Structure 1
Amino acid sequence: MQTDKDLFDLIKETYPINPREEFVLDTADKLRKSARQINRRSRLKQFTFASASIALCTLALSWFFLYDGKDTLNNTFSTPQNEHSASTAAIKNQDPLVYIYHSHNQESFMSETSTNHSDDLFHEERNISLVGERLSQALKNYGIHSIHDSTDIKAELEEKRLSYSDAYKVSRVPLENALSHNKKLKMVLDIHRDSLKRNQSTISIDGKDYPRIAFIVSKSSAKSEVNFKFAQLLHEYTEERYPNLSRGVFTKDTPTQNSYNQDLFGNSVLLEVGGKENTLEEEYRTVDVLSEVISEILADWNEQEKG
């Protein structure tokens, strides 16, 4: 691009030919005008480019903040999360099929408490209720909606000054409420942990430790036969897929036998998952397996109903 200095240098170089002064002045003026026009065109191009850039930025910001551009971007880059949310919402809209609760909700483990005495193995937070919550979440992976009751039974017993043997009376109330409002429930599971030592409560599968499951049925209930068949079904499905993970089905029959609330609903069972020396991580492994077993039983029941 020519500058005024370049033009003057050019003018000076023409002097040796001794042009007329008028011609020199006229030529210099024309050259200056030409240089200014070139400069204006260059600045106009620069301004146009800058203006276009600003306009594009303004449009982009307007789209982002005023016309749901943010939502579009979120939808574009968050598809897996949104799909998961949609899946979770779909499950919540289904009728619950499984009711999970804990009559002895604060039963805990040696790894979670500061004592080794079975009678003192309780914890307000790190307890068997976390195992029930894990089962509820695992069932979601199979598209199964469940109810996990998190009532703090032990706290209610203490508040009402009731004995520990009254735990089933307290847990009965939310169970009755759930049954009255959820007519499509298929099974009721009261999950506990046993007091067995580790060598009795644990099995190794593919190099990992799994707490074994015992299925308990009270014979004091009018529904004991139905419940026994259900417990036997859980045992058989578990054994078929994970041999020796189940400890078997046990019936309780004494003159003063507690019904374990199994009189309220057929397909009710009490589960002892592992023992006091197991860990929560191990417990989670076993209920993950249990969720698989439950999903297969429900699928088979569904096929039978269709047939």
Structure 2
Amino acid sequence: MYDRELFLVCSNVTNYNDEEFTNCEETMNSNEKKSKRKIIIRLLLFCIILFILWLLFIFLFMSKDREQPREVSYTKHVLEQKNASVNRNYAGNTNTEFSSESRREADVEVTPDPYAILKDSSLKHKEIMDLENRLKEPNINMKSPKKNVGNKEVFIYFSHNRESFLPYFSNATKPEMAYHSTFNVSLVGDRLGKALKQYGIRNKVSDADIITMLNEMNLNFGHSYDMSRQLVLEEKKKNHHAEIFFDIHRDALRKGNTTAVINGKAYAQILFVVGTGHPTYQANLDFANNLHRLLDANYPGLSKGVIIKDNTQGNGVYNQDLSPKSVIIEIGGVDNKLGELYRTADALAHMVSQF
């Protein structure tokens, strides 16, 4: 409006000189530039607002996604929870196939909370000390004659060594929080090693912290099996008598699905996991099935069976291509207590001595 009025004024001037007309024209040009500048500034502000709204949308979308339960293939990941075939064998019975829905009752894996991995939550130290004092020595069944185990040696390691147990945390209540740098599934492996030794079976229990190894290599949790593979290869290179390789884990299922009562005593149930992502997996599957049958015959209900996972369901190999007698053993779940876990470790050692 102002430019238009100025134009009319300039156009209707009858008594003017060249200088006055030039000044009038310059004023019009200046106002036109200011008007264009305002339009450009408004467009820029509009673009900035759109960009901020886009960022807010992305942030809210990702936040919502993080709030959903996060299941992972073990390298505990998402795909592993879908379309998994389950093979459970029982002594004297033929194989029974289960759907993926049934499998969810056999094995659940979650992504660890990154804060639980990086910083230990507080523990109930007094309760832990009291338990450890009462559970020092393995309960060895000497009624069964010990077989000649020869040069058989067992290597026990932990691809997810910080998996822990909720009853001993002061505040943690969710499976993804059950991780600790010292109080973890490696205690169950130590117990298994002690029991095997009392049965006359030589063994070595790894004390490697996979999380530390991952951090040193700047790798994420999904590379856990790459790190534990180094442990197995190193042990095979140093010890040619190492024949059996147990990768000990704990499941993320709650107690009702990970506990069995045998002769009035509670045990943390066992689940064997075999990867079919390598050509020689059948030997590993036979090995796991044989262990399951022994357990089922002597401790009915202790073993939940054997599940198989291929490359579409996670890692699919689990370092089992390195030995025909290599298997993942899930012992208990997030809610099991040391007494139940140790009781199972003793029973497993008993069966390995009879293998």
Aligned partners of 2:349, 2:241: CA distance in 1, in Å?
A: 18
Q: Are 1:95 and 1:182, in contact at CA under 8 Å, matched by a contact in 2?
A: no
2:155 is matched with which residue: 95, 99, 114? 99
- The correspondence of residues 47-86 of structure 1 with structure 2, limited to 5 A, is none
CA contact (8 A) 2:243 2:323 kept: no
Q: CA deviation at 1:223?
A: 2.2
Spell out, residue by residue over 1:164-201, the C-alpha distance to the aligned partner (whole angstroms, 9 max, x if none).
11001111112101111222222110000001111110
Match of 1:218 in 2: 275
Aligned to 1:290: 348
Aligned residue for 1:142?
A: 199
TM-score by length of 2: 0.56
Paired residue for 1:183, among 207, 228, 240?
240
Report the alpha carbon displacement of residue 288 of structure 1 after superposing the two structures with TM.
0.2
- Alignment-mate amino acid for residue 233 of structure 2: E
The AA in structure 1 aligned to 2:244 is M
Q: Identify the match of residue 131 of structure 1 among 167, 188, 192.
A: 188
8 A Cα contact 1:218 1:257, kept in partner? no
Cα distance between partner residues in 1 of 2:196 and 2:346: 8
User: Which SS does the other structure have where 2:260 is aligned?
Assistant: strand
Structure 1 outlier segments of 4+, above 6 Å: none
Superposed CA offset, 1:16-39 (max 9, x none): xxxxxxxxxxxxxxxxxxxxxxxx
How far the C-alpha of 1:209 sits from its partner, in A, is: 0.8
Q: Residue 254 of structure 2 corresponds to which residue in structure 1?
A: 197
- The 3-state SS of whatever aligns with 2:335 is coil
Q: Note the C-alpha offset of 1:136.
A: 0.4
Given the alignment of the two structures, is residue 171 of structure 1 paired with residue 228 of structure 2, yes or no? yes
Tell me, what secondary structure is at the counterpart of 1:156? Answer: helix
- The one-letter code sitting in structure 1 at the alignment partner of 2:325 is N
Q: Which moved more, 1:258-267 or 1:247-256?
A: 247-256
Aligned residue for 1:155, secondary structure, equals: helix
Bigger RCO (CA 8 Å, 6+ sep): 2
User: Which residue number in structure 2 is paired with residue 10 of structure 1?
Assistant: none
User: What one-letter code is carried by the residue in structure 2 that aligns with 1:245?
Assistant: L
Count of aligned positions: 204
Which runs of no fewer than 5 residues in structure 1 stay unpaired?
1-93, 298-307
Aligned letter for 1:99? F
Q: Distance in 2 between matches of 1:166 and 1:147?
A: 23
The structure with the largest alpha-carbon Rg is 1
| Distance in 2 separating the partners of 1:222 and 1:272 | 23
Structure 2 unpaired stretches of 5+: 1-149
3-state SS of 2:319 partner: coil
Q: CA RMSD in A?
A: 1.4
Q: Which residue of 1 aligns with 2:336?
A: 278
Structure number having the greater helix percentage: 1
